[in-house]
Structure 1
């Protein structure tokens, strides 16, 4: 019997426009009406998760920042797996070496380093360097639509950032050869795991902060057995959950490396693969 359905967001529950389709929304609501708990597991922070699903009125439990945080239905933070200070310092040394822009995620919001006077222009230039197409076309409108500035924290010195408890560090690349070089250096640092949710980014978390490990923590908290859980995703940051749970599904458009880990496959996010899987599950109950 399935009691918990865990879904990645971007590329899985959301379509290629990063929007929750009507069919997926209806399917999730039907799933919950049958007594099955639904939980997004995302690389986004809690604010970003809620923005993605706000039209569904779900307010579910949520795994955020790749497993660095878990929130209950009331939006209360229950579990946190932050980066250690030593790990942050080691990652920062690589960021400094290659003069990379980075986002530092805390429980209070996304933190960036900027000491200038024209923040919006600075952010637009960052987006234009390495971001999905829909963000590059009109960066300011995109940021306003997702309420980017609501939880943005700006520090003028790196010391101000490093004094905070950091849950995830993300950096983006337009040069994929540089991305590979940076990834190789990051993989030598103990105590961290480096994943990605797109071809152009790297996301750094504590080794304890994976979607798979956090779902196991959630199962322990609420008494779910692994065979009572379905997990579904499409990205490299979904592999830790796909490989730890027997009822694991890859999206139809997922890379082969993701499909190789998952036990099963559903349709693509463009074709409401999550909804089709939910209807299949409910039909078999």
Structure 2
């Protein structure tokens, strides 16, 4: 029986807004004893702004697993990059000769905000929701507040090259992967949405067989492939679809299937 649903935000539950149909499905699931949780790449404040009108009792996983918040909005886990790792990432980024620093923009998820050293709008991905700090790459310490560093670029081939180059140089100590069509992410080892889900399961004495996941992007593959019941959005790329058990046109459809599955087991 499924007792917990972990759902991605952007491209899954959130597409410029959250549909009323999805909200009603979440409320129905919760009324039937299925806890609804969010697992997103967004920083906490951005995620909270999106979900403020949803009533659910679950956990909020942010920055692709770097932070976990409980239902009282308390941070109960964080897995962050060390100062040494951050400076090495900056060093690698600065040394790659095919990077255009105006169009292939590095960003830091630092202390709950997205920070860039220069205007990231030319990268085409970030239109708002970020701050510019020209000193972000030269800080002496980051005070254990960076869970995630990314690079945004409209050039998909270049992103793939960046992933391979970063893997060669820091892959022994960090996870490096494509996180969306226009972004790549770098996080500490053993940090992912799925690792965060396992943390929540351990804290609540839940088995992974009691978990369903819903997502649409490469950064969801870990949680889609890690459980027996998972749903990829119909518009997902093939690599994401192939990692999931099912395809779904909406979160509501996935939740309804989970409810039907539970009813058969009763």
Question: TM-score, length-normalised on structure 2?
Answer: 0.87
Contact 1:111-1:155 at 8 Å conserved across structures: no
Q: In the alignment, which of 237, 252, 256 is matched to residue 275 of structure 1?
A: 252
Show the counterpart of 1:209.
Answer: 191
Structure 1: give runs of 5+ residues left out of the alignment: 115-121, 268-272
Contact 1:8-1:232 at 8 Å conserved across structures: yes
Residue 174 in structure 1 maps to residue 154 in structure 2: yes
Query: How many residues of Structure 1 are paired with residues of Structure 2 in the alignment?
Result: 253
1:34-183 matched pairs, under 5 angstroms: 34-58=32-56, 60-97=58-95, 98=99, 99=101, 100-113=104-117, 122=119, 126-131=120-125, 139=127, 143=128, 148=129, 152=131, 154=133, 156=135, 158-160=137-139, 162-165=141-144, 166-183=146-163
Judging by fraction of residues, say which structure has more strand. Answer: 2
Contact 1:59-1:74 at 8 Å conserved across structures: no
Q: The residue matched to 2:17 in structure 1 has which SS?
A: coil
Task: State the 1:76 CA deviation.
Answer: 0.4
Choose 162-171 or 68-77, whichever is displaced more: 162-171
Residue 253 in structure 1 maps to residue 247 in structure 2: no
Q: In the alignment, which of 157, 165, 178 is matched to residue 196 of structure 1?
A: 178
Choose 57-66 or 69-78, whichever is displaced more: 57-66
Task: State the 1:200 CA deviation.
Answer: 1.3
Contact 2:105-2:123 at 8 Å conserved across structures: no
Contact 1:250-1:262 at 8 Å conserved across structures: yes
Judging by fraction of residues, say which structure has more helix. Answer: 1
Task: List per-residue Cα deviations over 1:174-226 (Å, max 9, x = no partner).
Answer: 23332222111111112111233321111111122101111001100111111
Higher relative contact order (CA 8 A, sep 6+): 1
